[in-house]
Structure 1
């Protein structure tokens, strides 16, 4: 008996030792500023800020189901042509489906694979009834209090204007890239990208092009966002979650409310929604583990211990990981009921009440596996499922040791030059146009060089969207440095 107890104690001690050692070794010191000299990119700051301010004043809204404002998009296209004359005169520029843009800057060495930088011109609508809640009108492009205010300042006209300004500056300096540079700007990203990015990707594929890397929106530099980290964290997205909305309909309802059945159609629908929330998709620590590892010793010990020893703790992750929405979004396929409809009158039982549930699909799952699991969890044949709106599977997850990732990482360090800066990969939880280009590259990344805090992040698709002047200038400089680093002589 004593030998058994002693043996168990030894095994337990060894287990604790392994856990602790793996936790302390679970870091990557290569993300420091060392080896990346600071660069100074001179900009005409007043002009750069003014251009973005003007861009916000074009209400290039993607409504989805509502009339398309062709005049606004045509005017915005004209504005870009007038604002960046060297880009339009020296690059090959194609208009795709009237409003999207594909630009080609021919490199000197055809043997080198080109790069592709992307953003989108369209913005989401302002939520009706919230207009008066904005500090400044959403389409005024007001510059005040150190910020540029308005819909699209972050998502994603800062990307469009930032890439074009960086390119315009390089052209003005007489720069000649070794490898070709492609620029793509879609006009319908917010509603799926079918006429913009999807068409552009198809054209490029027909030309037989394959890119060294593709860069789109997605990750940002965060400040005060990552728990336990006081410094800056630049988050690069090597992949993105998939998107699926399912419409759940409870059949067999109807009748007068004075004579309700023991179980109403709405009751069955409510039970189905409740089951989905009570049985969330399982946690997968894989894609957050790399993020935690890159942040190193600044991450609280308990979190590092969990991710460093996934082999032991992952089966118990549901009880160990804090139920924080921002954290969970990167660890599981999320379930979010977003729309519900019932009766048209308070004394009438609805015939076929329905609800729409949105799923953001973690890599490793597909639209098919999610749908199958939803059917299993609901376990009610009287409730039908159908796809609602556009959807797509998760993107491929790109490597973080590629040429493109290294050039992006280096460019961020060179421009920001802050010893506290950490750079880490994390799956992007929203959909971007980059997913349409998976067949055109092995290396697809999502990053726009603005710095955002908690308040600025809330403005994306919400009220008071804004970007600080300093942050936007930083983004332009990162695009500039990235093009130079990626296309200069090796």
Structure 2
């Protein structure tokens, strides 16, 4: 506790704040963009900028890179191992990623401050990566550097792992890191993994923090229509693009089911209802009843979907989504298209599966292809149809390998969850920032990660995987992946306080 008090005193001093803020600003200035079409490191010069980031990190955090064992995986992936004094304790693993989404051509002029300026205006730190995810990475490194300066020696080993392509699937970064860790330490070798993810927010008289325990699956589906083509002066009733539009319309007219089932989404609703006394009494009672009553869950679902302006948000939290993001067709104005295609992105509900997505496609699109005499090849699941037809429709996964929803970690009463939740509560209740949250009672409950993180590669390392950044939602100027991405400096400093307490608390927790 003496060390914790020393750290808290240090973190309140202006010289530390300035150093920490500049650490994040400097990292933001290095545009480590990752692209979907990048080849492996060593075969694509767009990776070279990551070497500049490594030089910066090594200079900014000298104790980290000289005191910890440093392993570079697949050239730019970083694994840093801090040896603990008690080998019987499984390591604490903290993860993040070095890459950022690209700034589109022409978009820089729309920013208040240049996207790679790392500008600090006295309130916000501006730039791509300030939110996602250099704030997490720099917070973790700042914490370890500070603990080393104070000669802290952990009993429990600590592993830091920073991927390089989370924004484009994670295969080259976390995918390679996971293989290295499994080969080095084995399966189920980590006590707990904490990656980027949830944060905290005020609700009336409480502060609610939400580690993401569930993570949705993903599959991108190619819909390809092939026809004979021909001259536009003699068109059939439907061109390939016309057929494609019918298929897309059928999908959008028949969305995936939305269900509020026992799990993280329901727990998030129940946690808020249990502690926010400003909510109507009938709503709070219904939420409590929904834990064991299917009819109450259905009523709760309808209430959530019926909230003004919130239907799409709650539908996405409770069901599998579909978004037609890419379409192509035709090459010339007087030539009928021979190949037309669309790609549909799906984020799969934590209670569903990849197979259920495929089944939905067949159920919805098979009647359409039959109506227009089109041959359907649906993921290789249907018998070959050799009859003459007006065209050929192929459905297949594309871009990334299909990903099932993540395994759900243990929560209330489980040692790993209790350490994480206790750390979150202690950090929030002891905050000393000017707009302190410490006047409000903090509560911690599970929630659903809508997108995918690098944790998809770490499932075999531990069952205790939680996605939590300790980022205040009101500390974000716009959010992640946006024009004017920025984070309040005070919010970033709270992340350092959280990571410091997490390392210290995990060190004292014994078996996890």
Which TM-score tier does this pair reach, normalised by the shorter chain? Answer: 0.7 to 0.9
Equivalent position of 1:217 in the other structure: 196
**Range moving further from structure 2, 433-442 or 44-53:** 433-442
Q: Is the 8 A contact 1:449 1:476 kept in 2?
A: no
- In structure 1, runs of 5+ residues without a counterpart are 1-36
Deviations 1:411-460 (A, max 9, x none): 2222221324332211101110012111110110001012123963x431
| CA offsets 1:50-99 (integer angstroms, 9 cap, x no match) | 01000001110101215442331001011111111111111111111111
Matching of residue 473 in structure 1 with residue 441 in structure 2: no
Q: 1:245 to 1:54 in 2, by over 3 A?
A: same
Select 1:124's aligned residue among 94, 101, 113: 101
Compute the TM-score of the two structures, normalised by the length of structure 1: 0.86
Tell me the SS of whatever aligns to 1:482.
Answer: helix
CA distance in 2 between partners of 1:434 and 1:280 (Å):
28
Aligned to 1:175: 152
Equivalence for 1:16: none
- Residue of 221, 242, 247 corresponding to 1:267: 242
- Which residue of the other structure, out of 323, 326, 347, is the alignment partner of 1:339? 326
**2: distance between equivalents of 1:47 and 1:140?**
17
SS for the counterpart of 1:151 is: coil
Distance 1:216 1:332, change over 3 A: same
Q: 1:155 aligns to what?
A: 132
Structure-to-structure mapping, 1:276-425, within 5 angstroms: 276-286=251-261, 287-295=264-272, 296-298=274-276, 299-301=279-281, 303-304=283-284, 305=286, 308-309=289-290, 310-314=293-297, 319-320=302-303, 321-322=305-306, 324-379=311-366, 380=369, 381=376, 382-391=392-401, 392-401=403-412, 402-417=414-429, 418=438, 419-425=440-446
- SS class of match (1:113): coil
Change (3 A) 1:433 1:333: same
Structure 2 vs 1, CA of residues 327 and 167 (structure 1 numbering), >3 Å: closer, same or farther? Answer: same
Shift of 1:404: 2.2
Indicate the SS of the match to 2:335: coil
8 Å CA contact retained: 1:121, 1:156: yes
Task: Quote how far apart the aligned CAs of 1:368 are.
Answer: 2.7
Measure how far apart 1:315 and its partner are: 5.5
Deviations 1:96-134 (A, max 9, x none): 111111111111111111110000000110123322111
Q: Which moved more, 1:396-405 or 1:155-164?
A: 396-405
Judge conservation of contact 2:476–2:487 (CA < 8 Å) in 1. no
Partners of 2:250 and 2:509 lie apart in 1 by: 58
Q: Are 1:142 and 2:123 matched, yes or no?
A: no
In structure 2, runs of 5+ residues without a counterpart are 39-43, 370-375, 377-391, 430-437
CA deviations 1:351-380 (Å, max 9, x no partner) are 111111000011232223212221221122
Whole-angstrom distance in 2 between the partners of 1:185 and 1:70:
15
Contact 1:285 1:307 in 2 (8 A): no
Alignment-derived partner of residue 382 in structure 2: none
After superposition, the CA RMSD in angstroms is: 2.2
1 CA distance for matches of 2:499 and 2:345? 33
Quick one: distance in 2 between partners of 1:126 and 1:232?
A: 33
Whole-angstrom distance in 2 between the partners of 1:134 and 1:468? 16
User: Who is 2:372 aligned against?
Assistant: none
Q: Does the 8 Å contact 1:178/1:489 carry over to 2?
A: no
In the alignment, structure 1 residue 452 sits paired with structure 2 residue 452: no
CA distance in 2, matches of 1:433, 1:269: 34
Residues 369-406 of structure 1 show CA distances to partners (whole Å, capped at 9, x for unaligned) of 21222122112224211212113211101111322222
| Structure 1 residue 103 corresponds to structure 2 residue 54 | no
Give the whole-Å Cα distance in 2 for the aligned partners of 1:179 and 1:76. Answer: 28
Instruction: Tell me the distance in 1 between the aligned counterparts of 2:182 and 2:34.
Output: 26
CA distance, structure 1, for counterparts of residue 344 and residue 160 of structure 2: 35
Closer, same or farther in 2 for the Cα pair 1:145/1:398, shift >3 Å?
same
Identify if the C-alpha distance between structure 1 residues 169 and 460 changes in structure 2 by more than 3 Å, giving closer, same or farther.
same
Cα distance in 1 for partners of 2:62, 2:365 equals 57
Deviation of 1:316 after TM superposition, in Å, equals 6.8
Number of aligned residue pairs: 448
- Cα distance, 1:70–1:263 mapped onto 2, change above 3 Å: closer
Q: Paired residue for 1:55, among 27, 38, 47?
A: 27
